[in-house]
Structure 1
Amino acid sequence: GQDKNQKERKLIYRTLGKTGIRVPVIGMGILSSGSPALMRVALDAGITHFDSTAGQTQIHNEEMIGEVLKGVPRESVIFGTKIHLLQDYKTGLYTKAATEDDFLKKLDMALKRLKMDYVDIVYHHMVSRRESAFHEPVMKAMEKAKKAGKARFLGITTHSNIPEVVHAAADSGFYEVVMASYNNRQKNHKLVKEAIAKAADRGLGVVAIKVIRGDWKKDEIPVNPSASLKWVLQDSNVHATIPAFSNFEEMDMDLSVMEDLKLT
């Protein structure tokens, strides 16, 4: 039956740099699905790496995740959440409102909704400037969260000025995982590739996002989503991806990439 096929899937694992975390190269970004059934099937298929965004728009998703994972041994899944603080959108720099306190409160609220004592990775979310990557209140908050056992590892995410931020993460000696938009339609994908290579070389875990949809507008579906995933995963400096599949067909297609990933 279907379950049997799910169980026998071929999974390809990589390690998120010096964190030592081993995950299948395809994880699940829970942004668009909000579906407990889909998350359960993903767990059954061997997906262990899940990722969400903390915040008002995602409250339902976080609570759903908490419910689904209730019966699952916590150490059997790798869970990341992203914390976003107010920035000046024109400059990408932080305002005075981006405080240490604000970061820690948001993390605590997310943990409560997720029914977790800790996340494996807490991300400093949506950074677009080198300067912002080193915003002291955020770094202090993250350090506190780690010391308090609320996060095992510290990460950073970037969707714009990607090479600049990935280089900053690699230079920081602070961030342990970097999550970056990476796809073959980026005009600067060669620069992104170089930055990612440096991050991986420095021991950071590398998670690629916006791999399939990339910069496509909502109503444009990429011609060949599997090819987009394969293109990114053929870069051995990418340790994981977290496609936000929103139905079973998409999930199936994404997972099947691991069946015949030509590794270079």
Structure 2
Amino acid sequence: MNHLQLGTTGPRVSALGLGCMGMSGMYGPADRSESIATIHAALDAGINLLDTGDFYGSGHNEALIGEALKGTKRDAAVISVKFGALRDPAGGWVGYDARPAAVKNFLTYSMQRLGVDYIDIYRPARLDPNVPIEETVGAIAEMVKAGYVRHVGLSEVGAETIRRAAAVHPIADLQIEYSLISRGIEGDILATCRELGIGVTAYGVLSRGLISGHWQAKQDLAGNDFRAHSPRFQGENAERNLQLVEALRRIAEAKGVSVAQIAIAWVAAQGADIVPLVGARRRDRLTEALGALDVVLTPDDLSAIEYAVPKGAAAGDRYAAAQMAHLDSEVRHG
């Protein structure tokens, strides 16, 4: 497993990270024992970056990771935690809270559930519209000084917010959706990260399974499955997006690799400062994702992929309208 430094100030992480959200019901039912076995398999394969959020399963995901890491040396894992999203008992989303007092409160509970005495990378999940980013980052910086956090990260924010945050404390990485069909990062956001020496951890590299090569139209989805409400998975949008997948499949088959592997490899090929996060919930999917690390894309391959899935080709937004409104990364300033 190759390792790289996340940004100029961040930790050394594996070239592929494991996103654990799907292990806590966000994509329908998940098997607890298989989830833990998948985390163990990832660690055994050399993956050290584990990504979670304190609101994934309302704490379930952190407790699951904590269980999986029992008996493991603390420094074997680089744990990245998002915080700030608020939920009600029915699982609904009721806003964001990134006030300094909330930052410290959320952090305390995260460390307890994870069974650790520090978090490697701590980041607000979204920009709280009621709290200046300087105050949120300042509170995390206090926790860095106190030894409870090692690095400050950001998630789904735009270039202006990145600059304001970086003026308060060095930022290790920006976590943001990036895939062949989600390319909003290209331009100001990626350029700003590179100017400031901030790494990128890319989630949704398979667009939540849509471009994995395994997704089929008209699949039955549980009501709590994110994809049941995602515009890209609905009706004609899904059909158009799956046509892109078939075009990608032809390129993958010509190289003797899977669609998922070529999609992951494409993200990795966009720069040594970008670490793809794969949301494998099962060991077989993890094994497939690990195979992407061996895929070498030539300039001709990249041109063919661009032709098959051009920028902006996806049908439908990546979130429903209400959630899109919370994405500072999608706001066009000026």
1:81-120 aligned at under 5 Å gives the runs 81-85=81-85, 98-120=98-120
1:150-229 aligned at under 5 Å gives the runs 150-158=148-156, 165-170=158-163, 172-173=165-166, 174=169, 175-186=171-182, 189=183, 192-213=186-207, 216=210, 217=227, 223=245, 224-229=259-264
Given that 2:118 and 2:148 are in contact with CA atoms closer than 8 Å, whether structure 1 keeps it comes out as yes
Task: Pick closer, same or farther for the CA change 1:70–1:262 going to 2, 3 Å.
Answer: same
Given that 2:7 and 2:273 are in contact with CA atoms closer than 8 Å, whether structure 1 keeps it comes out as no
Of 295, 299, 305, the match for 1:260: 295
Given that 2:134 and 2:165 are in contact with CA atoms closer than 8 Å, whether structure 1 keeps it comes out as no
Comparing 54-63 with 212-221, greater Cα deviation is found at 212-221
Comparing 250-259 with 134-143, greater Cα deviation is found at 134-143
Given that 2:10 and 2:151 are in contact with CA atoms closer than 8 Å, whether structure 1 keeps it comes out as no
How far apart, CA to CA, are the structure 1 residues paired with 2:191 and 2:64? 35
Q: What letter corresponds to residue 183 of structure 1 in structure 2?
A: S
Q: Give the C-alpha shift of residue 125 in structure 1.
A: 0.9
Give RMSD over aligned pairs: 2.9
Given that 1:200 and 1:206 are in contact with CA atoms closer than 8 Å, whether structure 2 keeps it comes out as no
> TM-score normalized by structure 2?
0.63
| Structure 2: runs of 5+ lacking an equivalent | 24-31, 87-94, 211-226, 246-258, 300-334
How far apart, CA to CA, are the structure 2 residues paired with 1:84 and 1:196? 24
Given that 1:166 and 1:178 are in contact with CA atoms closer than 8 Å, whether structure 2 keeps it comes out as no
**In the alignment, does 2:53 pair up with 1:63?**
no
How far apart, CA to CA, are the structure 1 residues paired with 2:124 and 2:151? 11
Given that 2:153 and 2:174 are in contact with CA atoms closer than 8 Å, whether structure 1 keeps it comes out as yes
How far apart, CA to CA, are the structure 2 residues paired with 1:263 and 1:150? 43
Given that 1:63 and 1:114 are in contact with CA atoms closer than 8 Å, whether structure 2 keeps it comes out as yes
Q: What letter corresponds to residue 180 of structure 2 in structure 1?
A: N
Of 213, 234, 242, the match for 2:269: 234
Report the count of equivalent residues: 238
Q: Deviations over 1:121-179 (max 9, x none)?
A: 001112387x96x4344223212211111111101111xxx6xx145314532333111
How far apart, CA to CA, are the structure 1 residues paired with 2:172 and 2:298? 25
Q: What letter corresponds to residue 169 of structure 1 in structure 2?
A: I
Aligned to 2:4: 14
Q: What letter corresponds to residue 61 of structure 1 in structure 2?
A: N
How far apart, CA to CA, are the structure 1 residues paired with 2:57 and 2:144? 25
Taking every aligned residue pair, what percent have the same amino acid on both sides? 23
Q: What letter corresponds to residue 133 of structure 2 in structure 1?
A: H
Q: Give the C-alpha shift of residue 205 in structure 1.
A: 1.9
Given that 2:178 and 2:202 are in contact with CA atoms closer than 8 Å, whether structure 1 keeps it comes out as yes
Aligned to 2:306: none
Task: Pick closer, same or farther for the CA change 1:252–1:215 going to 2, 3 Å.
Answer: closer
How far apart, CA to CA, are the structure 2 residues paired with 1:172 and 1:146? 15
Task: Pick closer, same or farther for the CA change 1:111–1:226 going to 2, 3 Å.
Answer: same
Aligned to 2:137: 139
Given that 1:14 and 1:22 are in contact with CA atoms closer than 8 Å, whether structure 2 keeps it comes out as yes
How far apart, CA to CA, are the structure 1 residues paired with 2:12 and 2:174? 15
How far apart, CA to CA, are the structure 1 residues paired with 2:155 and 2:81? 11
Given that 1:208 and 1:238 are in contact with CA atoms closer than 8 Å, whether structure 2 keeps it comes out as no
How far apart, CA to CA, are the structure 2 residues paired with 1:249 and 1:215? 14
How far apart, CA to CA, are the structure 1 residues paired with 2:288 and 2:177? 20
How far apart, CA to CA, are the structure 1 residues paired with 2:281 and 2:121? 23
How far apart, CA to CA, are the structure 1 residues paired with 2:197 and 2:43? 28
Q: Give the C-alpha shift of residue 49 in structure 1.
A: 0.7
How far apart, CA to CA, are the structure 2 residues paired with 1:56 and 1:176? 22
Given that 2:159 and 2:188 are in contact with CA atoms closer than 8 Å, whether structure 1 keeps it comes out as no
> TM-score normalized by structure 1?
0.79
Task: Pick closer, same or farther for the CA change 1:215–1:112 going to 2, 3 Å.
Answer: same
**In the alignment, does 2:35 pair up with 1:41?**
no
Q: Specify the structure having the higher radius of gyration (Cα).
A: 2
Given that 2:80 and 2:122 are in contact with CA atoms closer than 8 Å, whether structure 1 keeps it comes out as yes
Q: Give the C-alpha shift of residue 80 in structure 1.
A: 0.7
Given that 2:50 and 2:78 are in contact with CA atoms closer than 8 Å, whether structure 1 keeps it comes out as yes
Given that 2:22 and 2:280 are in contact with CA atoms closer than 8 Å, whether structure 1 keeps it comes out as yes
Given that 1:85 and 1:103 are in contact with CA atoms closer than 8 Å, whether structure 2 keeps it comes out as no
Aligned to 1:249: 284
Any idea what SS the aligned residue of 1:242 has? strand
